[in-house]
Amino acid sequence: MTRRARAATLRASRRRGMRPSRAYNVFRVIALASVVVVFIFPLVWLVLASLKTQIDIYDPSKTFIFSPTLHNFKTVFGAQAFLPFFRNSLIVGVVSTALSLVFAVPAAYAMSRFSMTKSSIMVLLARVIPSISLIVPWYFLFAKIGMVGGYGAMIISHMFLSVPLMVWILISFFDTLPIELEEAAQVDGLTPIGAFVRVSLPLSIPGIATAGILAFIFSWNNFLFSLILSGSNTKTLPVAIFNFIGYASIDWGGLMAASVSITVPIIAIAMFFQRYVVSGLTAGATKG
Amino acid sequence: MKRRSRYAAVSLTAALILSACSSGPSSSSGPSSSSGPSSSSSLSGQTINLSLSHHAWTTSLQTFIGDFTTETGIKVDVNVYDDAQQATLYNVKLNAGSSDIDVLMFRPLQNTQQFTQNGWFADLTKYVNASTDWNWNDFWQSARDSVTVNNKIIGVPLVSETGVLYYRKDLLAETGMPYPKTMDDLKAVVAKIHELHPDIFAFAGRGEVSAAVTQFSSFLYSMGGNWTDGKGNSTINSDAAKAAYKLYGGLIHDYGPPGETDMNWPQVMGLLQQGLVAFYPEASSNYDSAVDPTQSKVADQIGVGPIPAGPAGSKPYNITAMALGISAFSKHKDAAWAFIKWATNQANSLTIQEAGVPGARTSVWNDPKGTSTLAPDLLATIQGNSKIGVGYDRPQVVNVDQARQIVGAPIVAAIQGGDSNAVADQANSDFQALLDGQAK
Amino acid sequence: MSSPVIAWRAAISLWVNRNRKWILSGPAIAFIVLLLVIPLGYTLYLSFTDAGSSLRASFHFTGLGNYTNVLTDTRRFWPAVYRTVLFTVGAVSVEMLLGAAIALLLRREFRGQGIVRVIILMPLVATPVAVAMLWRLIFEPTIGFANEFLRFFGLPGSEWLSSPSTALPTLMFIDVWQWTPMVALLLLAGLTTVPEEPEEAARVDGANVFQRFWFVTLPLMRSVVFAALILRSVEAFKTFDILYATKGAGGGSMHEAETINIYAYGINFSDNRYGLASAVLVVFFIMVLVLVTLQIVARRRGQ
């Protein structure tokens, strides 16, 4: 085949829109449907179980058909008083995310513009270190300065996860911002920092949103730090879920209702900000 | 208005402290009208942090814990944890000398040696001695012993617990056999039920390595075995111990539900409640959930009986399961003591026992009200066990967690149908190493 | 406003701008270093001592004793290493394969694509502890849906998480369920950067779907594949939440789900052998670093 002929075929195939065969389309629909079912079924099951009584959960004949009850949610928000745990998760998540941004945005900017390899390796190190090697020493540290049990220790520990994550996401974001804009601003009389604040910062709002949402999700889901560092009034949701285990008979319905209550808000946030979440999760991966 | 009620509450405390014999008034009675200067007014307004365990005792206390604040003005911050979490938290927080915990709920047989060695308990002796009206001697001797180390009192007993056998009355009746008196009877009746109802788990029990140890202990003692010889030598590979491992694990292997080696009591209890289990050795203190009609389909068919006799007779464990202590690092020890004293006074002990959680106060047990709510078969078993029981349900070492992992291994092997004798030999040398390490 | 003030301001501004590299990045770096180096140093220090029971009690230096104990421990440590490696390799390789397949399925636009993307995002953001609880119920041998499902097809049930022989594969399955979407999203992002022309050319030359993917598309997105591989294997290597929430601190009755992370947690928080636990953690950390370095080196070589 000559090059010209090949190019012609290529054009022709493109004109046809590279339409795949009918068989492939059928296969694709089936495959996609199975993907959807596999990933969503357990979550649907979770919701179903949260609406069942303990006796129905043990009854195989009531797998899909049963009379739903909100009893378990009453346990979660009534007897187990989950609302304060929501408040705690929210406070720790929002504050740690906000403070982390204050640290991470300028740092990521500097690391992007000055190619600070050693520093970014340090940040990477913080992302790969196993969390349990940090907890005991941290606890001692926090106890020494009287921060244990309050929000402070929790927020700082969550920031330790958020800051590196944000720096990681934002470095790759700032890398894509053209430096020419800042240079032009400097020609117009702005200082380098002024150019950063007035020009780059406003442009990086999508990146900041991405980093912030992702950090919030990870904070909301964090279990280990919260288990050890949360105090009397600062227990967060992932820790509180254990209230349904280890006492009397295992309260599956209550456990599932608690799981639903924790998961639904975070899934809702992720769905709402889907684009940001995806770009945050994939940040840094697509560059060379 | 608020201020006045608080004043009244303070006065009430004062009145209670001053009164010579305080066996009378119930905690939930209204504010007293008496007035006068109060020695505890300095405690009013303080907040104490309670670290409680998931337990029926806690549930019962929580229904009226507000009364304490009303009476004393001391605020309480209640934290309830499951066992594993609580153990971790104690390790971290007390290790750091954190004042984050004031009152700590603990399991004397699990924690006393380690916490004492680490200096984590406040010495309660002077408080106890100063509270004559509260009457320390009313607690059982064995219970007091379990929280006394080197003549120092480190806790107040809350819950007594003993090994019993839960069973389905209807299924037993179907076999036409009497309640099993010996281990051989038990094997026979379980086999019969299995034959009649292959879909029911004729014998189930805790199978998770560490959790199983305490319920297994009744079988170990009854078969004539023990953890050690009392002189620092491990005896968990004695013939009697090996027979006990084979018996307990074998019954579960032959008749238990799938996934047994992962089961602690919440899982087994769940199955029992749904009518899926015929015989189940478990602690007496879990009786309430076994017969809870909101959770159970067979609540009215659950009976309780003594552990059947082995070669050494019926030797169930009979222990102080829970106690309240004060952290050595607490900054509110006086207020913490005020709470413990209140929670364990005669009136409140009675209230909690009436709710179905057996305590350790003689006067409560002697009070007809204290036993009126206990089912007759449960009461009879508890009273029987109190005469023959062994005062510990796990190895008596500093690091109980580690010991339980070791001595539980042969149970797991037996449940899986493996060579539990070989595993017992290995476990014996491991346990010996632990004992030797501790003796150093 | 007097001129000295202006001069001062200008001087400060000049200084700040000149040192902006460190002024901007300093706080974050200091924060991380402080929270990273102190614990690392402390762990390293404890790993050379016999610290146990109480950290407030006195303890002695034992040199490399803990390390020899750890590295010669064939009953708990090496099996834990084996499980960690098995878990990581098993779960991540399945995730890479399935993730690639899903990414290819999602590559071309179709109606409802948004919904599918949202759905595969769900396992990713769901709270791991809650996810663990959910699977605990599904895999419950007596009442769980998994066995009910099998029974429906007349198949025998399994003990899933509860049995020492099936616990680890079941946990790998859960990890695959939760993290395959992550790989899919990464590869999908990578696919969008790959031009379609080479593939079309190969198609015209008669290459089938598999050949086109393997010989044309994949080499073009090698860096994304490596990134996904590094990210997932480090995360899988460190998995904690799901293991702890399903099997507890010891990893089960026969330590069947005890990875290095869980093992370190157990000897730290259950057994209070802080010296030994610290040695395990140091070894673990070195392993993670080696893993990362190896993959980065492999990635460089590949380019």
Q: What is the pLDDT of residues A183-228, one digit of tens each?
A: 888 888 888 888 888 888 898 899 999 999 999 999 999 998 888 8
Per CB-CB distance under 8 Å, the chain B contacts of A58 are 270, 274, 276
Residue of B60, B75, B82 to mutate, interface with A, max A Cβ within 10 Å: B82
Identify which has the larger pLDDT, C284 or C10.
C284
Report the DSSP pairing between strands B148-149 and B152-153.
antiparallel
Strand partners, B305: B165
Q: DSSP string covering B238-280, please?
A: SHHHHHHHHHHHHHHHHHSPTTGGG--HHHHHHHHHTT-EEEE
pLDDT-based confidence at residue B18 (cuts at 50, 70, 90): very low
- Find tokens 């020494």 and name the residue: A144
* Average predicted confidence (pLDDT) for chain B: 88
Q: Give the pLDDT confidence of A137-173 residue by residue, as tens digits.
A: 887 778 777 777 789 989 999 999 999 999 988 988 8
- Find tokens 């390799």 and name the residue: C89
Residue in B55, B82, B270 nearest the CB of A249:
B270
Instruction: Fill in the amino acid letter for C207.
Output: A
Report pLDDT for A7.
54
Closest B-chain CA to C143: B271
> If we measure between CA atoms, which residue out of A71, A255, A77, B211 comes closest to residue C135?
A255
How many degrees, rounded to 5, is the angle at CA B151 between CA B283 and CA B221?
30
Q: CA of B242 to nearest chain A CA: how many angstroms apart?
A: 30
Q: CA of A78 to nearest chain C CA: how many angstroms apart?
A: 19
pLDDT-based confidence at residue A248 (cuts at 50, 70, 90): low
Report pLDDT for B97.
82
Q: Give the pLDDT confidence of A1-33 residue by residue, as tens digits.
A: 455 555 555 554 444 445 567 888 888 889 999
Alpha-helical (H) ranges within B119-182 are 125-130, 141-146, 169-175
pLDDT at B150 over 60: yes
Report pLDDT for B24.
36
Mean pLDDT of B14-30: 38
pLDDT-based confidence at residue C9 (cuts at 50, 70, 90): confident
Report pLDDT for A215.
94
pLDDT-based confidence at residue C303 (cuts at 50, 70, 90): low
Per CB-CB distance under 8 Å, the chain C contacts of A113 are 21
Q: Which two tokens stand for residue B25?
A: 């008034």
Report pLDDT for B343.
96
Write the burial class of residue A203 (CB in 10 Å: 0-12 exposed, 13-18 middle, 19+ buried).
middle
Q: Which two tokens stand for residue C264?
A: 């370190």
> If we measure between CA atoms, which residue out of C86, C81, C92 comes closest to residue C227?
C92
Q: Give the pLDDT confidence of C219-255 residue by residue, as tens digits.
A: 888 888 888 888 899 899 999 999 999 998 889 999 9
Helix (H) or strand (E) holding B104: strand B103-106
Question: Which CATH superfamily is C74-302 part of?
Answer: MetI-like (1.10.3720.10)
Question: Which CATH superfamily is A75-283 part of?
Answer: MetI-like (1.10.3720.10)
Closest C-chain CA to A111: C25
Q: Do B267 and A250 touch (CB under 8 A)?
A: yes
> If we measure between CA atoms, which residue out of C258, A48, C100 comes closest to residue B209?
C258
Specify the 3-state DSSP secondary structure of B325: strand
Report pLDDT for B37.
34
Q: Which two tokens stand for residue B217?
A: 């202990």
Closest B-chain CA to C158: B258
Q: Give the pLDDT confidence of B378-437 residue by residue, as tens digits.
A: 999 999 999 999 999 999 998 898 999 999 999 999 999 999 999 999 999 999 999 998
pLDDT-based confidence at residue B25 (cuts at 50, 70, 90): very low
Query: Where in the sequence of chain A do the CATH 1.10.3720.10 domains occur?
Result: 75-283
Q: Count Cα neighbours of B251 within 13 Å in the Cβ-side half-sphere.
A: 29
Report pLDDT for B20.
36
Q: Do A54 and B289 touch, CB atoms closer than 8 A?
A: no
Return d(Cα A180, Cα A177) in angstroms, integer: 9
Return d(Cα B242, Cα B407) in angstroms, integer: 11
Q: Mean pLDDT check: name the lowest of B46-50, B368-372, C217-221.
A: C217-221
Q: Mean pLDDT check: name the lowest of A195-204, B31-40, B122-131.
A: B31-40
Return d(Cα C273, Cα B94) in angstroms, integer: 15
Specify the 3-state DSSP secondary structure of B202: strand
Closest A-chain CA to C303: A288
Write the burial class of residue C18 (CB in 10 Å: 0-12 exposed, 13-18 middle, 19+ buried).
exposed
Percentage of chain A modeled with pLDDT above 70? 90
| pTM summary value | 0.87
Residue of C129, C270, C271 to mutate, interface with B, max B Cβ within 10 Å: C270
pLDDT-based confidence at residue C57 (cuts at 50, 70, 90): confident
* Average predicted confidence (pLDDT) for chain A: 84
Return d(Cα A226, Cα A156) in angstroms, integer: 11
Report the DSSP pairing between strands B75-81 and B47-53.
parallel
Percentage of chain C modeled with pLDDT above 70? 99
Q: Do A282 and C185 touch (CB under 8 A)?
A: yes
Q: CA of B392 to nearest chain A CA: how many angstroms apart?
A: 21
User: Other CB atoms closer than 10 Å to residue A17's CB: what's the count?
Assistant: 7
Mean pLDDT of B171-193: 97
Mean pLDDT of B336-359: 94
* Beta-strand runs (E) in B287-419: 302-305, 318-326
Q: Give the pLDDT confidence of C171-189 residue by residue, as tens digits.
A: 999 999 999 999 999 998 8
Give the contacts of B193 (CB within 8 A, at least 6 positions apart).
B171, B172, B174, B175, B200, B202, B278, B279
Identify which has the larger pLDDT, A60 or A156.
A156
Report pLDDT for A89.
95
pLDDT-based confidence at residue A287 (cuts at 50, 70, 90): low
Report pLDDT for B16.
40
Per CB-CB distance under 8 Å, the chain B contacts of A231 are 100
Interface A–C counts its CB contacts (< 8 A) at 272
Strand partners, B148: B153
Q: Mean pLDDT check: name the lowest of A184-188, A266-270, B411-415, C75-79.
A: A184-188
> If we measure between CA atoms, which residue out of B26, B5, B88 comes closest to residue B351?
B26
Percentage of chain C modeled with pLDDT above 90? 47
Mean pLDDT of B75-87: 85
pLDDT-based confidence at residue B2 (cuts at 50, 70, 90): very low
Closest B-chain CA to A242: B82
B379 interfacial to chain C (CB closer than 8 Å):
no
How many degrees, rounded to 5, is the angle at CA C122 between CA C121 and CA C123?
100
Closest C-chain CA to A18: C200
pLDDT-based confidence at residue B40 (cuts at 50, 70, 90): low
Q: Mean pLDDT check: name the lowest of A49-53, A263-267, C11-15, C119-123.
A: C11-15
Residue in C55, C241, C281 nearest the CB of A130:
C281
Write the burial class of residue B25 (CB in 10 Å: 0-12 exposed, 13-18 middle, 19+ buried).
middle
Return d(Cα B361, Cα B140) in angstroms, integer: 6
Return d(Cα A164, Cα A123) in angstroms, integer: 5
Residue in B88, B118, B263 nearest the CB of C54:
B118
Residue of C137, C187, C243 to mutate, interface with A, max A Cβ within 10 Å: C137
Q: Count Cα neighbours of A73 within 13 Å in the Cβ-side half-sphere.
A: 12
Specify the 3-state DSSP secondary structure of B162: strand
Return d(Cα A99, Cα A211) in angstroms, integer: 12
Q: Do C181 and C120 touch, CB atoms closer than 8 A?
A: yes
Return d(Cα C197, Cα C203) in angstroms, integer: 10
Residue in B80, B83, B264 nearest the CB of A243:
B80
Q: CA of B172 to nearest chain A CA: how many angstroms apart?
A: 23
> From residue B293, how far is each of A251, A261, B273, B301, B374 by CA, in Å?
14, 27, 9, 11, 16
> From residue A32, how far is each of A60, A142, A213, C104, C188 by CA, in Å?
29, 49, 28, 11, 15
Identify which has the larger pLDDT, A85 or A7.
A85
Report pLDDT for A242.
83
Per CB-CB distance under 8 Å, the chain C contacts of A10 are 197, 200-201, 204
| Residue-range domain boundaries for chain C | 74-302
Per CB-CB distance under 8 Å, the chain A contacts of B274 are 55, 58
Return d(Cα B304, Cα A84) in angstroms, integer: 40
Report pLDDT for A4.
56
Return d(Cα A48, Cα A55) in angstroms, integer: 14
Q: CA of C117 to nearest chain A CA: how many angstroms apart?
A: 9
Report pLDDT for C202.
84
Report pLDDT for A20.
64
> If we measure between CA atoms, which residue out of A203, A219, A212 comes closest to residue A151?
A219
Helix (H) or strand (E) holding B153: strand B152-153
pLDDT-based confidence at residue B10 (cuts at 50, 70, 90): very low
A160 interfacial to chain C (CB closer than 8 Å):
yes
Report pLDDT for B22.
37
Q: Mean pLDDT check: name the lowest of A179-183, B105-109, B151-155, B306-310.
A: A179-183
Q: DSSP string covering B59-80, please?
A: HHHHTTTHHHHHHH--EEEEEE
Return d(Cα A45, Cα A61) in angstroms, integer: 15
